[in-house]
């Protein structure tokens, strides 16, 4: 038995920009996930390959090196197996993955400890983050144009290299054969992303990502959708985060997704497998911390009628800032790491009441 994969729009960013802007807005509203391709001038395939090589080098570093860079409450550093629980209401065991979060770089330098194994590669990591940042600005600008709010989204981002939770994240999921897990365990719990948009880079042939459809069913997301198999690298998967959903009063979908173990007797996407380690790279684009989350002045947003799509529970709170929202979500994901800060968040009435 095989599972049907989801039909996510594939958008050529090199096309006429007015048309591309409309396509991006329609895809954000209908799916919340978007493939973008023909990005040779934005992020060349060779740079993506290099980033994955650096990721493998980082995770191969001695555990003592990684532990010395363990994640702090600024959301930077190494995350070990089971340290993160993306769906705490439903997971009995934390995520089966390790990760490394890089915050914003300044003049090519990481503003955090990094393992000696990749110290010589710091400038290349910074350069890759710059490419991701530029592509995010391009997409945010197009989304603003598509909603006829000009630079509303793009102007809320990247005003300075500090004061933002933007994160370049490397992830490694060990092969299922090397872990002990129950039938209902997942490699990464069901969640929506915390920021505005996410760029997700994946390797061909590596299965696991699923999204939750409007009808409540889970379906796999192919690395290379039909028509892109011969591209120099798989298309980048862009997903809408909580904040763009908030800014558009629910018009843009912050779609819930997860990473799963293979299920006996059920095949996922043809040509993809979960037998080997799974690597991915995510660039989480986050506005400046002081950006206020209120609906944009768009006629399409104003006229949008929610037809049963579950909104972000925090969307009813007026005046919430991007920084407050991020801290709220991180404190839920990491639990004890945030300690007293979590109590302060709850005291402000910002604690989440459910997974989104």
What are the pLDDT digits (tens) for 226-238?
999 999 999 999 9
Angle value at C-alpha 141, between 143 and 7, nearest 5 degrees:
35
Q: Which domains does the chain have, with CATH numbers?
A: 10-348 (2.60.120.330)
What are the pLDDT digits (tens) for 37-68?
988 789 999 999 999 999 999 999 999 999 99
CA-closest candidate to residue 172, choices 110, 84, 80, 261 = 80
CA-closest candidate to residue 99, choices 71, 123, 74 = 71
Check if the beta carbon of residue 275 is closer than 8 Å to that of residue 205. Answer: no
In the predicted model, is pLDDT for residue 340 greater than 90? no
Give me the chain's average pLDDT, please.
88
The pLDDT-based confidence of 131 (bands split at 50, 70, 90) is: very high
Mean pLDDT of all residues in 301-322: 65
Can you list the alpha helix ranges (DSSP code H) found in the chain?
A: 17-30, 45-59, 63-67, 122-146, 242-247, 299-302, 322-334, 339-347
Report pLDDT for 329: 85
Report pLDDT for 343: 47
- The token pair at 64 is 């003592």
**Token pair 């660039």 is at which residue?**
283
Report pLDDT for 275: 86
What are the pLDDT digits (tens) for 295-304?
899 999 999 8
CA-closest candidate to residue 165, choices 134, 193, 128 = 193
CA-closest candidate to residue 147, choices 251, 243, 238 = 251
98-102 and 278-285: which strand pairing? unpaired
């Amino acid at each position: 038995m095989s599972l049907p994969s989801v039909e996510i729009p594939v958008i050529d960013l090199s096309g006429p920009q007015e048309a591309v802007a409309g396509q991006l807005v329609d895809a954000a509203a209908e799916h919340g996930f978007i493939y973008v391709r023909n990005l040779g001038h934005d992020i060349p395939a060779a740079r993506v390959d290099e980033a994955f090589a650096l990721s493998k080098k980082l995770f191969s570093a001695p555990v003592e090196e990684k532990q010395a860079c363990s994640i702090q409450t600024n959301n930077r550093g190494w995350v070990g197996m089971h340290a993160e629980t993306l769906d705490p209401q439903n997971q009995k065991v934390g995520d089966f993955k390790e990760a490394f979060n890089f915050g914003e770089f300044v003049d090519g330098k990481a503003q955090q400890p990094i393992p000696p194994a990749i110290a010589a590669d710091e400038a290349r990591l910074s350069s890759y983050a710059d490419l991701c940042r530029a592509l995010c600005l391009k997409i945010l600008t197009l989304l603003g144009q598509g909603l006829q709010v000009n630079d509303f989204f793009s102007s809320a981002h990247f005003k300075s290299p500090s004061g933002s939770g933007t994160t370049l994240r490397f992830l490694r999921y060990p092969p299922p054969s090397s872990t002990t897990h129950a039938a209902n365990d997942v490699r990464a719990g069901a969640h929506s992303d915390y920021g505005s948009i996410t760029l997700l880079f994946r390797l061909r042939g590596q299965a696991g990502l699923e999204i939750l459809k409007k009808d409540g069913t889970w379906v796999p997301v192919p690395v290379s959708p039909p028509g892109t198999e011969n591209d120099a690298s798989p298309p980048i998967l862009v997903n809408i985060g909580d904040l763009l959903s908030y800014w558009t009063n629910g018009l843009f979908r912050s779609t819930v997704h997860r990473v799963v173990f293979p299920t006996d007797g059920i095949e996922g996407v043809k040509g993809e497998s979960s037998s080997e380690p799974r690597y991915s790279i995510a660039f989480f684009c986050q506005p400046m911390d002081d950006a206020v989350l209120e609906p944009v002045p768009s006629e399409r947003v104003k006229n949008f009628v929610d037809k049963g799509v579950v909104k972000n529970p925090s969307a009813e709170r007026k005046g919430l800032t991007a920084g407050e929202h991020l801290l709220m979500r991180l404190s839920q994901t990491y639990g004890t790491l945030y300690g007293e800060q979590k109590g302060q968040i709850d005291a402000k009435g910002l604690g989440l009441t459910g997974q989104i």
